[in-house]
């Protein structure tokens, strides 16, 4: 039986590793459900990292397993191992490839961060550009508001344009050990975040005592909240349901219990919630 030529064998192995890595990168099921317009941006970047990590894992662990079997010590073999001092070309290869991967991921992460509004004026994290279309389709209010659309790429937010303001503004206060949500237009104060699906929501975050971190995993949103410093998140929820809100910064003895929930309603259900709670506000 003829041995498969090394170049052909390398090509076959490379194709198999690529196919396996691509499949794992798209089917790992490590992320929670997507419930905001930011979520696909974050997940696509995460999937890319998982794909690359899977390929590296298969290559490194496969080489270790191959060498452990091929060059294992045979019974009765008492000779010394081959005196290998090093291989300059191999050193260059395994230094350059990881460096290029890290640089590529860094550039991609900056682009994703920019698309989410991370470099916008005032540090406001916003949803992806096409959220304006979704809001226009799903919104039933005609209030002209100021919304900033983020550029597709760049390191500053100075070229952002004014379009529409958020459909809703909610003031959020973090304190040991609770989140308080204040709806300034209706005067409602709640221990839960209630929002309508498909609406452009802006939340203004403030800390009353120590550093907290506002995190909604399904929205792929997390923002540190510092005493004396105001921060803002802006997003569009795309799925109705109840999603956990967690403090992701150690803020004291009962940090683990600083949890509440974001409840995303249909527009009709949200109007009903507003009506019911405005009467007692």
pTM over 0.95: no
DSSP conformational letter for 72: P
Strand, helix or coil at 145? coil
Tokens describing residue 182: 């204040």
Q: Residue 242 — φ and ψ, nearest 5°? A: -115, 125
Alpha-carbon distance of 36 to 125, in angstroms, equals 13
Judge whether 210 and 192 are in contact, CB under 8 Å.
no
**Extents of the domains making up the chain:** 7-70+89-281
Rounded to whole angstroms, how far apart are CA atoms 181 and 273? 14
CATH number of 7-70+89-281: 2.60.40.420
CA torsion angle for 13, 19, 24, 27 (degrees, to 10)?
-160
The one-digit pLDDT tens for each residue of the chain (281 residues) are 567 788 888 899 999 999 999 999 999 999 999 999 989 999 999 999 999 999 999 999 999 999 999 888 888 888 887 788 888 888 999 899 999 999 999 999 999 888 887 765 444 555 444 443 333 333 444 343 333 444 332 223 333 334 578 889 999 999 999 999 999 988 999 999 999 999 999 999 999 999 999 999 999 999 999 999 988 999 999 999 999 999 999 999 999 999 999 999 999 999 999 998 886 65
Residues in contact with 199: Cβ distance below 8 Å, sequence separation at least 6, in sequence order: 135, 138, 139, 167, 168, 236, 237, 267
Q: Give the pLDDT confidence of 137-172 residue by residue, as tens digits.
A: 334 443 433 334 443 322 233 333 345 788 899 999
């Amino acid at each position: 039986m003829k041995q498969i030529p090394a170049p052909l064998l390398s090509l076959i192995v490379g194709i198999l590793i690529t196919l396996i890595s691509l499949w794992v990168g798209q089917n790992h099921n490590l992320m929670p459900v997507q419930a905001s317009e930011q979520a696909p941006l974050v997940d696509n970047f995460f999937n890319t990292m998982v794909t690359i990590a899977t390929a590296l894992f298969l290559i490194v662990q496969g080489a270790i397993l191959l060498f452990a079997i091929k060059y294992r010590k045979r019974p009765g073999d008492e000779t010394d191992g081959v005196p290998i001092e090093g291989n300059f070309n191999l050193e260059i290869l395994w230094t350059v490839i990881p460096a290029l991967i890290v640089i590529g991921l860094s550039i991609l992460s900056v682009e994703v961060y920019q698309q989410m509004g991370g470099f916008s004026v005032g540090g406001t994290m916003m949803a992806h550009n096409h959220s304006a279309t979704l809001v226009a389709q799903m919104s039933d209010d005609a209030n002209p508001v100021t919304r900033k659309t983020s550029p597709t790429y760049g390191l500053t937010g100075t070229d952002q344009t004014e379009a529409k303001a958020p459909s809703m503004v909610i003031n959020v206060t973090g304190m040991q050990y609770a989140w308080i949500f204040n709806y300034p237009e209706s005067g409602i104060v709640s221990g839960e975040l209630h929002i309508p699906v498909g609406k452009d929501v802006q939340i203004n975050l403030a800390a009353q005592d120590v550093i907290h971190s506002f995190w909604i995993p399904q929205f792929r949103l997390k923002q540190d909240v510092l005493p004396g410093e105001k921060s803002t998140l802006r997003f569009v929820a795309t799925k109705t349901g109840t999603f956990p809100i967690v403090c992701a910064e150690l803020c004291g003895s009962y940090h683990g219990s600083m949890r509440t929930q974001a409840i995303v309603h249909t527009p009709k259900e949200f109007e009903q919630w507003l009506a019911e709670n405005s009467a007692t506000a």
